[in-house]
Amino acid sequence: MLTLNKAGRLQGNKQDVFGKIFYSIILVVLRVILLCIIGIDVGTSGCKATIIDFEGNVKGQSYREYSLISSNYGWLEIDPIQVWNSVKEVIAESISYYNGEDIKAISVSSFGEAVVPVDRKGNVLNNSIMYIDSRGSEEAAFLREKLGNDKILGITGTTVHQMYSINKIMWLKQHRPETYNNTWKLCSLQILYYLSLVPIPIPTILWQPERWPLTS
């Protein structure tokens, strides 16, 4: 049996020559394919970019801090434009510290439940209402009364809670109709939307409007 030691080298039964050659080839291919990746972590108070090589060594890193916006008690929003600018800055800065081979992949993680309404030109129409924002409690109660927890659980796999985006979308429709009516798409913070360099939003089953006729 062949295994990898801490140095990333094969060890085990020396008679398994073909197996050793095979695994050595696989390691060479992986080193070529995965020379370096850049990881981007978008949090509620800041974002970070880190460049990591095949062996897990950090080759470049950068961080930018930003603040949540609160115009009323219990309201917490984030400016998606500021977030995007911060993401661009940490990517550029982390790359400036790195002088190795080409970066082969980008991995992005981000906080959820922060909807960004955009128009047909991709312009942001409103700050993202955060999942910890107190708005949405009345909308959650409405959904619970009209549909019931069991039905919602069957559709979404989760129960009703005010933190979820559906409640924030309903709040926008009720209290900011001009923004809602001018909205072309409701995006999830848009980070992947921008990084893809392709101005085409990619819907998922979670965003099928026919599942939520009460918001149409």
Same domain, 67 and 148: no
Instruction: Give residue 2's pLDDT.
Output: 46
Same domain, 89 and 135: no
The answer to whether residue 101 sits within a structural domain is yes
Each residue's pLDDT tens digit, 22-41: 767 766 666 655 578 899 99
Same domain, 98 and 131: no
Instruction: Give residue 193's pLDDT.
Output: 56
Beta bridge partners of 60: 51
- The C-alpha angle with vertex 83 and arms to 86 and 182, in degrees rounded to 5, equals 140
pLDDT(11) > 80: no
Instruction: Give residue 216's pLDDT.
Output: 44
Domain boundary among 111, 126, 157: 111
Secondary structure in 3-state letters for the chain: CEEECCCCCEEECCCCHHHHHHHHHHHHHHHHHCCEEEEEEECCCEEEEEEEECCCCEEEEEEEECCCECCCCCCCEECHHHHHHHHHHHHHHHHHCCCCCCCCEEEEEECCCCEEEECCCCCECCCEECCCCCCCHHHHHHHHHHCCHHHHHHHHCCCCCCCCHHHHHHHHHHHCHHHHHCCCEEEECCHHHHHCCCCCCCCCHHHCHHHCHHHC
Residue type at position 37? I
CB atoms within 10 A of CB 190: 22
φ and ψ at residue 78, rounded to 5 degrees: -135, 145
Same domain, 91 and 163: no
CA–CA distances in Å: residue 25 to residues 10, 36, 179, 187: 11, 19, 56, 42
Same domain, 60 and 99: yes
Name the band, by pLDDT with cuts 50, 70 and 90, for residue 195: low
Q: What is the mean pLDDT of residues 117-128?
A: 90
Percent of the chain with pLDDT over 70: 73
Number of domains forming the structure of the chain: 2
Instruction: Give residue 213's pLDDT.
Output: 55
Same domain, 124 and 45: no
Give the contacts of 129 (CB within 8 A, at least 6 positions apart).
75, 76, 77, 114, 115, 135, 136, 168, 171, 172
pLDDT(194) > 80: no
Range of the domain at 190: 112-216
Same domain, 48 and 97: yes
CATH number for position 172:
3.30.420.40
pLDDT, greater one: 185 or 182? 182
Each residue's pLDDT tens digit, 43-77: 999 999 999 887 788 999 999 999 999 999 999 99
Same domain, 39 and 97: yes
The answer to whether residue 2 sits within a structural domain is no
Does the pTM surpass 0.75? The reply is no
Instruction: Give residue 149's pLDDT.
Output: 87
